[in-house]
């Protein structure tokens, strides 16, 4: 850490001797141990006159409780091997370090030209029992699990004291801040019985966390730094741990110092609200001090780049506050600058001293540049089941190029982003002058094949089941040679393709899909996808059934002015059956009653910089598309134009790396031509506009006032997401706005505001849950509103 200071430590001879005695290096003087001479220190002996003589036999003497096979597994000296005094002394030390023996001696004897090696062992006495007195808060099993030993293990007072500390930690973590734990040392030594005496005292819950003396940072901001939290029924226990409070005070102090307040000091005090000392207020006392500014920036040891080039790369400037995060970011930026030019071992060491002027510091960056390197061979390790080309195609660097660490870092992220690997590291190896081979090491994801069965519910689709078989490391050419290979999972794997089969029966929606995707068609950065599906859903005034197929091609642009973009061409062919039509339904519904044929071709352009596909915290995603119906025949001819944009910002990160995120989105869609009701736009519900029913925003028509959809839709909104309890429970505040109109234009603008809870429960995998309350503050006269919306996914296994 930049501002950490390390005091010198002095260790007395007495403490050193005590440590050696407790770890078994010297015998503990006790009446419980046999009267044998103290074991001599294991000397380091390089040679013996018997070295090189073949060992004929190894004897073990003195065992009572320890199994002989356990001892022999510790020995390196074995019959048939050459005797080595150094190896035998190593065996003695290894046996003593197990803690099971009070003394170990080794005696070699030469008989008939071979050595008989005898190990004489004196066992430590075993613990007969472990008991607890005064323990009411925890069951015996929980206390036993906290101990580093159990009944039957060799008695070691050092381990007994470790157990004492472990029990204290266990209690303090549950709010018993003033627990007292002792044990009877003489009883343990004389009778080999360990009895812990526990005085639990009251369990203390934190009722409030406050701060004194903070003028720069708000209470809310500092509360995100500390781990001590007040009691919150169901969600948070609020247990007080004085050790945690000490760490929290240090964390707040570091928070200040990392932001330029180099003299900041933080402590805490506790105040009880009640006589029973159960309700506690924790007050962190802050002395902020002066915020120091950078008075001078000094660069030392640089030759490859000019001072102007290096200073231009830096964020920290003269006159800025000394922010640790900014300084560390500059170190990373400068190291990356060197690494991108082949100086892969370059490093930058920051330091600072107080300047002569009050409130200022002098910051020095010392450069160790090293020499540039080119890439030699590229080696891949760890892909036991995945084809090597699945790794190499994500690297995008080649032999004889300059070793650019930005390319290797990007390759690591791409490898992990494929989902085929849980970890990927790329590092330079070798010692050739000016050249380094590249070692790519991956850890394969053991869960690329998953079978998921479960049930879910949402306000959009009612109750719905889910049975899915998915393989994200599929190989369509790897057919099994036997049924055994198939059922053991040794077929159809290794090419990085995706095959997904899903069945979703429900109360309002039924669907079945089979999808296949090849991310690198003919080993080029061109993706290919194909799928077939069945779909059945109740609509307003009719039932909609679809049978269709899709196939697509997508291209990721790696360079040029479209770098970072992806283009897609997709084709869809469907048979849409409109049945169970309501009597006197709207004309637009009657016009498509029965069977309908639909074909479309869609062109899309996507730019995605988000850091996560499922829970993004920064970056944006933009998508624009044109879909033309009737291009390949069918009953309809129209075009659908659309564009949507989503941006994410991380606005705060607490000490547990939990992020508070603001997201904003906008979407515009327009139909050109006459589209059927099942291709038009509707809004409302989760994922669209909360506060309104699923498809509750739509133009209406007919005697029954049926929802018939619109040709124009515009939606926008913003959401603030923040952690409530770990990352398993998050809160959200949001606003949704938009409209759906018959034609281009806005006649009624809808708006809702609300909040909700996001739960991610690690039960039988991951169970996502969303619960939202939203109030429409602007709506149309025919809109269907819905205050409460939800989504629950419950996998069986």
Domain boundary residue, one of 287, 320, 340: 287
What is the b/e burial string over 528-542, where b = at least 16 CB atoms within 10 angstroms of the residue's CB? bbebebebbbebbbb
Q: What is the pLDDT of residue 278?
A: 64
* Token duo for residue 268: 């805490």
Question: What are the pLDDT digits (tens) for 141-157?
Answer: 999 999 988 888 888 88
SS3 160: helix
> Are 299 and 283 contained in the same domain?
no
Distance between CA atoms of residues 739 and 769, nearest Å: 27
> Are 244 and 332 contained in the same domain?
no
Q: Is residue 623 part of a domain?
A: yes
Average pLDDT, the chain: 87
Q: What is the pLDDT of residue 158?
A: 85
CATH no. for residue 694? 2.40.160.50
| DSSP structural state of residue 644 | E
Residue with tokens 């190990």: 119
Question: Torsions phi, psi of 112, nearest 5?
Answer: 55, 40
> Are 346 and 428 contained in the same domain?
no
Distance between CA atoms of residues 640 and 572, nearest Å: 14
Question: What are the pLDDT digits (tens) for 574-631?
Answer: 999 999 999 999 999 999 999 999 999 999 999 998 887 778 899 999 999 999 999 8
Contacts of 666 (CB under 8 A, 6+ apart): 644, 645, 715, 716
Question: What are the pLDDT digits (tens) for 80-93?
Answer: 889 988 889 988 98
> Are 430 and 338 contained in the same domain?
no
How far the first Cα of the chain sits from its last, in Å, is 44
Contact 174, 200 (CB under 8 A): no
121: buried, middle or exposed (CB in 10 Å: 19+, 13-18, 0-12)? buried
> Are 715 and 790 contained in the same domain?
yes
Domain boundary residue, one of 263, 287, 311: 287
Q: How many domains is the chain partitioned into structurally?
A: 5
> Are 274 and 361 contained in the same domain?
no
Contact 365, 425 (CB under 8 A): no
Q: Is residue 681 part of a domain?
A: yes
Distance between CA atoms of residues 10 and 30, nearest Å: 29
Q: Is residue 473 part of a domain?
A: no
Starting at the edge strand that comes first in sequence, how are the strands of the sheet with 265-272 ordered? 205-212, 279-287, 265-272
> Are 571 and 604 contained in the same domain?
yes
Distance between CA atoms of residues 75 and 84, nearest Å: 12
Contact 327, 2 (CB under 8 A): yes
Distance between CA atoms of residues 81 and 626, nearest Å: 79
Dmax (CA) for the chain in angstroms is: 114
Domain boundary residue, one of 395, 417, 444: 444
Q: Is residue 634 part of a domain?
A: yes
Distance of CA 511 to the CA centre of its chain: 32
> Are 329 and 232 contained in the same domain?
no
> Are 706 and 599 contained in the same domain?
yes
CATH no. for residue 430? 3.10.20.310
Q: How much is the pTM?
A: 0.66
Report, as an integer, the average pLDDT of 702-711: 93
Residue with tokens 């006459």: 674
Question: Which has the closest alpha carbon to 197: 168, 172, 174?
Answer: 168
Question: What are the pLDDT digits (tens) for 471-507?
Answer: 999 999 989 888 877 777 778 989 999 999 999 998 8
Contacts of 312 (CB under 8 A, 6+ apart): none
> Are 636 and 764 contained in the same domain?
yes
Domain coverage including residue 744? 519-795
> Are 432 and 523 contained in the same domain?
no
């Amino acid at each position: 850490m930049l501002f950490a200071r390390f005091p010198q430590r002095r260790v007395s001879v007495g403490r050193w001797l005590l440590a050696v005695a407790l770890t078994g290096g010297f015998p503990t003087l006790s009446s419980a141990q046999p009267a044998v001479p103290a074991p001599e220190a294991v000397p380091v002996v390089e040679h013996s006159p018997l070295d090189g003589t073949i060992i004929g036999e190894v004897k073990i003497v003195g065992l009572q409780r320890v199994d002989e096979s356990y001892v022999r597994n510790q020995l390196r000296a074995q019959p048939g091997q050459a005797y080595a005094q150094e190896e035998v002394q190593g065996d003695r030390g290894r046996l003593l370090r197990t803690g099971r023996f009070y003394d170990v001696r080794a005696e070699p004897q030469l008989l008939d030209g071979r050595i008989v090696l005898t190990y004489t062992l004196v066992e430590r006495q075993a613990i007969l029992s472990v008991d607890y007195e005064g323990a009411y808060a925890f069951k015996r099993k929980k206390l036993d699990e906290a101990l580093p030993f159990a009944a039957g293990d060799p008695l070691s007072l050092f381990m007994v004291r470790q157990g004492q500390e472990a029990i204290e930690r266990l209690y303090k973590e549950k709010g018993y801040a003033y627990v007292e734990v002792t044990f009877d040392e003489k009883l343990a030594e004389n009778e080999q019985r360990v009895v812990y005496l526990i005085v639990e005292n009251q369990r203390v819950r934190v009722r409030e966390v406050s701060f004194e003396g903070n003028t720069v940072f708000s209470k809310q901001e500092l509360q995100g730094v500390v781990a001590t939290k007040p009691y919150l029924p169901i969600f948070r226990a609020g247990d007080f741990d004085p050790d945690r409070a000490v760490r929290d005070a240090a964390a707040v102090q570091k928070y200040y110092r990392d932001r330029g307040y180099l003299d900041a000091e933080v402590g805490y005090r506790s105040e009880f609200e009640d006589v029973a000392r159960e309700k506690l207020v924790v007050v962190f006392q802050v002395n902020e001090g002066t915020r120091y500014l950078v008075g001078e920036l000094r660069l030392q040891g640089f030759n490859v780049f000019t001072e102007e080039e290096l200073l231009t790369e830096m964020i920290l400037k003269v006159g800025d506050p000394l922010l640790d995060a900014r300084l560390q970011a500059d170190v990373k930026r400068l190291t990356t600058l060197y690494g991108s030019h082949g100086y892969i071992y370059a490093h930058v060491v920051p330091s600072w001293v107080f300047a002569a002027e009050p409130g200022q510091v002098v910051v020095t960056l010392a450069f160790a540049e090293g020499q540039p390197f080119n890439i030699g061979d590229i080696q891949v390790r760890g892909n036991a089941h995945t084809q090597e080309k699945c790794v190499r195609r994500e690297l995008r660097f080649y032999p004889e190029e300059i070793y650019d660490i930005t390319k290797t870092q990007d390759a690591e992220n791409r490898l992990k982003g494929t989902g085929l690997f849980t970890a990927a590291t790329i590092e330079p190896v070798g010692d050739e002058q000016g050249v380094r081979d590249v070692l790519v090491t991956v850890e394969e994801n053991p869960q690329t094949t998953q079978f998921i069965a479960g049930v879910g519910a949402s306000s959009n689709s009612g109750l719905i089941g889910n049975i899915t078989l998915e393989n994200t490391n599929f190989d369509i050419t790897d057919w099994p040679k036997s049924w055994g290979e198939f059922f053991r999972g040794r077929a159809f794997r290794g090419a990085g393709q995706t095959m997904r089969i899903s069945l979703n029966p429900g109360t309002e929606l039924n669907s079945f899909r089979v999808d296949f995707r090849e991310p690198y068609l003919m080993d080029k950065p061109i993706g290919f996808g194909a799928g077939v599906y069945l779909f059945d859903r109740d609509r307003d005034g009719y039932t909609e059934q679809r049978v269709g197929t899709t196939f697509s091609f997508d291209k990721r642009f790696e360079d040029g002015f479209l770098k970072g973009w992806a283009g897609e061409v997709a084709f869809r062919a469907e048979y849409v059956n409109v049945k169970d039509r309501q009597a006197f339904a709207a004309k637009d519904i009657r016009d498509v009653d029965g069977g309908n044929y639909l074909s479309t071709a869609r062109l899309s352009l996507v730019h995605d910089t988000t850091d996560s596909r499922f829970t993004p915290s920064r970056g944006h995603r933009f998508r624009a598309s044109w879909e033309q119906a009737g291009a390949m025949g069918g009953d309809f001819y129209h075009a659908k134009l659309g564009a949507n944009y989503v941006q994410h910002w991380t606005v705060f990160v607490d000490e547990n790396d939990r992020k508070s995120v603001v997201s904003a989105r906008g979407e515009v869609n327009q139909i050109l031509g006459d589209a059927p009701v099942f291709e038009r736009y509707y809004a409302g519900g989760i994922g669209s506009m909360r506060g309104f029913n699923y498809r509750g925003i739509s133009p209406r028509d007919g005697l029954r006032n049926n929802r018939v959809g619109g040709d124009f839709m515009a939606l926008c909104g913003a959401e603030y997401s923040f952690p409530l309890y770990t990352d398993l429970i998050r809160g959200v505040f949001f606003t949704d706005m938009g409209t759906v109109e018959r034609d281009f234009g806005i006649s009624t603008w809808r708006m809702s505001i609300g909040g909700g809870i996001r739960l991610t429960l690690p039960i039988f995998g991951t169970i996502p849950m969303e619960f939202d309350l939203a109030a429409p503050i602007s709506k149309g006269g025919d809109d269907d509103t819905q205050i409460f919306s939800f989504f629950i996914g419950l996998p069986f296994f």
